[in-house]
């Protein structure tokens, strides 16, 4: 069974998700032709997103490495990016069984009315498997590994429920959709706390600048496309050792700027494919589940955050944070991680943050800056355990995605920077039974609170 799941997962998101969504679509009553088209559009969306993010990382990789050499930066944690984290997650016993285990738990929670979300974003179950795998290798206990993954899954489902109303009211055409991904939801506590503080600063609380407002105020200078070009040119200039080299490399620098502009322009177009492909599946799933859970206040379908990463505010803030995060990684005392491959995951920080800030660019930027500052320390702290897991997987599979260069440790901003992964890991690893008991009690309280909220909403909704 483990080999079967490992083989299916090994197909990759671009192949796995169309197959799963086609099967799911037929099972819930969608005509085969329509289900096939929906699945293929999702697959094409993953391919397009992979191509664009690969363009980002491949284009920035060389100049950013030049920057580290020019300025003598000594950072010993190598950025493996999300592909390495996913490989570590799915090439373990925890990862092989994470999908059926979590789906079963999801159904139980629905029956108990402890959640209103059914998470069909199966590919991104690797996030739960990742924390489970790292705990597994750190504690040498498969049971602690599964425990950590399940706790993360339940917390994320509850967070998805609690953030759904703001999410659906902010984003257009996503009624009945939620985002149960721990990386996205892990930034919500920072967003809520910092947004509350900023709203109480005189003058600052009246500052309302969204991406559309930037376009109106700054014209073409406020366009994500042009911002991408300018940041690309800036990074290209910084990678040169002298003004003479800047002049000599003008074609390269301008080319880098155009590539960064292309990333900013293409991502929103690609995300429209996800929406077109997932919408029929989401609507049919919602109708089916609602019939089976008639007393619920409204079932939400858990989908990939790729649906909304093309939002203009996300693009603008992500692009501005790339150079800021690089600078932070250099100047922060104690940080040993330089994000390179993980920069493609920057867009996924904000899907659940924008509904909190209502798309305010300044607030979102500040929240992102604080969150990623803390996240760099989280990655540095978890690097030894990530390295242990990656080395074991590489020894068994020879997967190049998890090959760590000699003399380095491995890390990934994409998930290791989440507060969920850091807290769960340390409570289980450092305190074993006591930490596990704390997690059980805390998660149970969250689930009970959510259940009462759902039941109250159901009673209120009745005529």
What is the full DSSP assignment across 282-312?
Answer: HHHHHHHHHHH-TTSS--EEE--GGGTTT-H
Of 124 and 49, the structure prediction assigns the larger pLDDT to 124
Q: What is the pLDDT of residue 450?
A: 95
Q: What is the pLDDT of residue 169?
A: 92
Given a cut of 90, whether residue 128 has pLDDT beyond it is: yes
| Axis-axis angle for helices 32-70, 224-238 (nearest 10) | 30
Alpha helix stretches (DSSP H) within 71-122: 81-90, 93-111
Q: What is the pLDDT of residue 212?
A: 64
| Residues 365-388, mean pLDDT to the nearest whole number | 92
Q: What is the pLDDT of residue 82?
A: 73
| Residues 129-147, mean pLDDT to the nearest whole number | 92
Q: What is the mean pLDDT of the chain?
A: 82
Q: Rounded to an integer, what is the distance from CA 98 to the centroid of its chain?
A: 18
Of 157 and 60, the structure prediction assigns the larger pLDDT to 157
Of 21 and 98, the structure prediction assigns the larger pLDDT to 98
Query: What is the domain partition of the chain in residue ranges?
Result: 2-461
- Which band of pLDDT confidence, cut at 50, 70 and 90, is reported for residue 445? very high
Q: What is the pLDDT of residue 218?
A: 52
Kindly give, in sequence order, each residue whose CB lies less than 8 Å from that of residue 45, ignoring residues fewer than 6 positions away. Answer: 270, 271, 273, 274, 277, 306
- Whether the Cβ atoms of residue 386 and residue 134 lie closer than 8 Å to each other: yes
Given a cut of 80, whether residue 140 has pLDDT beyond it is: yes
| Residues 323-352, mean pLDDT to the nearest whole number | 82
Break the chain down into helix, strand, coil percent, rounded to 5. 75, 5, 20
Given a cut of 90, whether residue 380 has pLDDT beyond it is: yes
| Residues 100-129, mean pLDDT to the nearest whole number | 87
Of 381 and 299, the structure prediction assigns the larger pLDDT to 381
Given a cut of 60, whether residue 6 has pLDDT beyond it is: no
Q: What is the pLDDT of residue 295?
A: 56
- Which band of pLDDT confidence, cut at 50, 70 and 90, is reported for residue 87? confident
Given a cut of 70, whether residue 147 has pLDDT beyond it is: yes
Pick from 211-220, 236-245, 359-368: least confident: 211-220
- Which band of pLDDT confidence, cut at 50, 70 and 90, is reported for residue 135? very high
Q: What is the pLDDT of residue 219?
A: 53
State if pTM tops 0.85: no
Given a cut of 80, whether residue 171 has pLDDT beyond it is: yes
The token pair at 434 is 């006591």
Q: What is the pLDDT of residue 294?
A: 60
- Whether the Cβ atoms of residue 355 and residue 167 lie closer than 8 Å to each other: yes
Q: What is the pLDDT of residue 173?
A: 76
Of 287 and 138, the structure prediction assigns the larger pLDDT to 138
């Amino acid at each position: 069974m483990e080999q079967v799941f490992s083989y299916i997962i090994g197909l990759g998101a671009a192949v796995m998700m169309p197959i799963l969504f086609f099967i799911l679509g037929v099972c819930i009553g969608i005509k085969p032709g329509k289900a096939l088209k929906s699945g293929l559009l999702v697959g094409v969306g993953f391919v397009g997103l992979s191509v664009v993010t690969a363009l980002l990382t491949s284009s920035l990789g060389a100049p950013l490495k030049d920057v580290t050499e020019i300025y003598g930066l000594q950072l010993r944690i190598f950025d493996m990016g999300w592909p390495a984290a996913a490989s570590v997650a799915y090439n373990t016993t925890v990862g092989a069984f994470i999908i059926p285990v979590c789906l079963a738990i999801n159904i139980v929670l629905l029956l108990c009315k402890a959640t209103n979300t059914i998470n069909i974003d199966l590919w991104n179950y690797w996030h739960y498997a990742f924390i489970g795998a790292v705990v597994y290798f750190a504690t040498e206990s498969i049971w602690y590994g599964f425990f950590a993954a399940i706790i993360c899954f339940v917390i994320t489902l509850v967070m998805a429920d609690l953030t759904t109303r703001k999410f659906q009211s902010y984003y257009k055409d996503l009624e009945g959709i939620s985002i149960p991904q721990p990386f996205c939801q892990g930034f919500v506590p920072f967003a809520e706390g910092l947004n509350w503080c900023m709203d109480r600063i005189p003058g600052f609380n009246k500052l309302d600048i969204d991406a559309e407002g930037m376009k109106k105020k700054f014209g073409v200078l406020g366009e994500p496309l042009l911002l991408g070009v300018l940041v690309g040119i800036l990074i290209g200039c910084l990678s040169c050792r002298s003004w003479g080299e800047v002049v000599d490399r003008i074609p390269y620098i301008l080319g880098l700027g155009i590539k960064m502009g292309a990333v900013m322009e293409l991502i929103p177009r690609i995300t429209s494919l996800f929406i077109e492909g997932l919408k029929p599946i989401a609507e049919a799933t919602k109708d089916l589940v609602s019939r089976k859970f008639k007393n619920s206040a409204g079932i939400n379908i858990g989908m990939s955050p790729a649906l909304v990463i093309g939002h203009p505010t996300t693009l603008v803030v992500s692009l501005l944070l790339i150079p800021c995060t690089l600078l932070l990684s250099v100047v922060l005392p104690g940080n040993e991680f330089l994000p390179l491959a993980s920069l493609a995951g920057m867009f996924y920080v904000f899907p659940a943050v924008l509904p909190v800030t209502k798309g305010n660019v300044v607030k979102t930027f500040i929240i992102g800056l604080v969150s990623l500052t803390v996240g760099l320390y989280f990655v540095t702290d978890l690097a030894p355990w990530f390295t242990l897991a990656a080395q074991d997987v590489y020894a068994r599979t020879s997967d190049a995605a998890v090959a760590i260069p000699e003399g380095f440790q491995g890390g990934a901003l994409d998930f290791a920077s989440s507060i969920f992964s850091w807290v769960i890991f340390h409570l289980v690893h450092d305190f074993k039974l006591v930490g596990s008991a704390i997690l059980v009690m805390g998660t149970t309280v969250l689930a009970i609170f959510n259940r009462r909220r759902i039941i109250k909403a159901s009673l209120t909704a009745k005529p």
